[in-house]
Amino acid sequence: MALIPLIIAFSAITHTAHGHSSFVRIKTDGEWHKPLQYIRNKTSPYDELKFYESNFLYRYYNWPTYIIDRPESVRCGRDNMNHSQETEVLSVRAGETIEIAHQREEPSSWTDDMFYNCTDDRGSCFHIPGWAQDFIHPGPLLIHLSKVPNGQDIRTYDGSGEWVKIHTLGLTNPRYDQPLNWTLYRKDPPHLTFKIPAQTPPGQYLMRMDVIWSGATNEYIHIGDDGSLAQMYPTCAQLNIQSELKAEFPKGVKIPEIFQPLEPGKCMTTSWDMMNNLKLDENYTYPGGPLWNGEELVIDKPVVLE
């Protein structure tokens, strides 16, 4: 099967050192917590167990995850279940604003000045000359919550239950007749803040943080039935959400199923032109299922200007 060698060939062009990143830091109540505090670590390097004919097994910390990887890797990062016990649980209030920060360096080379005293009260900084805090692939930031099922504990919960999207940061002022402007792509990003919806019922939750690059198919890059070029960079925080409300948490989606590339409506595969930021596919919605605004689940589509 020709699938994986093509992904590698493609990756060789797009994967520069220090290019990719993972979300490794959280700010609550005006305070940045330590790197990886409350966030499940990943194992690096890591050998992905193959499901298909993959010969692209080992990955470093900030390397992409593909849909053909282990379901656990797609949910919360490579080998995250081997790090869940050692991860603390962060108490937050429903309605509270959270900020997150990403890091491009491999953890083994982290130094304090990559995290502390960053300008503009950022949670991470890059001290490589010429590198800003941008993201090197066009795609949306997606935040999902998964409520730990009754009778389970967050430290042993693998995320195989349902996930509800609570935040998307995608295109700035999209138009069908204009090139795309992804808010996080190749520019200094805004502060990555969002609210835990005030209506979130109390309990333990995994919070998945990812910037997804949807892939394309065409006659040159032919991928077969099982995968796409879509790249994911997930990590998960362990939260204990506090609330007085007894509201219902809406019905969610399953991961990795919602990221299957060739299923209609999931938008993990785009047109070649959209992947190259030339145009917006008319049927494009942000991946990862509908968005919960605290009141209802809405179709998560870019608001297109006339």
Question: Interface with ligand NAG includes 61 (CB under 6 A)?
Answer: yes
Tokens of 132: 């800003």
Question: Judged by CB, which is closer to Cu ion: 231, or 269?
Answer: 231
Residue 97 engages Cu ion in binding (rule: CB under 5 A): no
Q: Which of residues 108-147 bind ligand NAG (CB under 6 A)?
A: 108, 112-113, 116-117
Work out whether 291 is an interface residue with ligand NAG (CB under 6 A). Answer: no
Q: From residue 193 to residue 232, what is the string marking binding to Cu ion with x (rule CB under 5 A)?
A: --------------------------------------x-
- Per CB under 6 A, does 277 bind ligand NAG? no
Residue 66 CB, shortest distance to ligand NAG, in Å, is: 18
How many helices (H) and strands (E) the chain has is answered by 3, 16
Q: Which residues contact 74 (CB under 8 A, 6 or more apart)?
A: 65, 67, 232, 234, 255, 256, 259
Q: Is 248 or 282 the residue whose CB approaches ligand NAG more closely?
A: 282
What does the radius of gyration of the chain's CA atoms come to, in whole angstroms?
18
Partner that binds at residue 14, options ligand NAG, Cu ion, none, CB closer than 5 to 8 Å by kind: Cu ion
Q: How far is the CB of 98 from ligand NAG (least distance, A)?
A: 20
Provide, rounded to whole angstroms, the least separation between the CB of residue 299 and ligand NAG: 12
Kindly report the backbone phi and psi dihedral angles of residue 11, in degrees, each rounded to the nearest multiple of 5, phi listed first: -65, -35
From the list 292, 100, 287, the residue with the least C-alpha distance to 197 is 292
Picking from 158, 276, 270, 171, the residue whose alpha carbon sits closest to that of residue 214 is: 270
How far is the CA of 27 from the CAs of 17, 36, 38, 96, 191, in angstroms?
27, 11, 11, 11, 11
Please choose which of Cu ion, ligand NAG, none residue 79 contacts, taking the beta carbon within 5 to 8 angstroms, the exact cut-off set by kind: ligand NAG
Ramachandran region of residue 117, left (φ > 0), alpha (ψ -120 to 50) or beta?
Answer: left
Regarding 18 and contact with Cu ion (CB under 5 A), the answer is no
**What spatial distance separates the first Cα and last Cα of the chain, rounded to whole Å?**
44
Closer residue to Cu ion (CB): 231 or 235: 231
14: contact with Cu ion by CB under 5 A: yes
- Residue 235: half-sphere exposure toward Cβ, Cα within 13 Å: 25
Two tokens at 96? 């509270």
The length of the chain is: 306
Cβ 134 to ligand NAG shortest distance, Å:
11
Q: In angstroms, give the least distance from the CB of 107 to ligand NAG.
A: 4
Cα dist from 82 to 10, 46, 296, whole Å:
30, 12, 35
Binding region for ligand NAG (CB under 6 A) out of 4-12, 38-46, 191-199, 253-261 = 38-46
Binding mask 65-94 for ligand NAG (x = CB under 6 A): --------------x--xx-----------
**Residue 285: CB minimum distance to ligand NAG, A:** 7
Give which of ligand NAG, Cu ion, none residue 281 binds (C-beta under 5 to 8 Å, depending on kind): ligand NAG
What values do phi and psi take at 31, rounded to 5?
-125, 125
How far apart are alpha carbons 218 and 57 in whole angstroms?
25
Can you give the binding site for Cu ion, defined by CB under 5 A? 14, 231
Can you give the binding site for ligand NAG, defined by CB under 6 A? 36, 41, 43-44, 61, 79, 82-83, 107-108, 112-113, 116-117, 172, 181, 183, 264-267, 281, 283
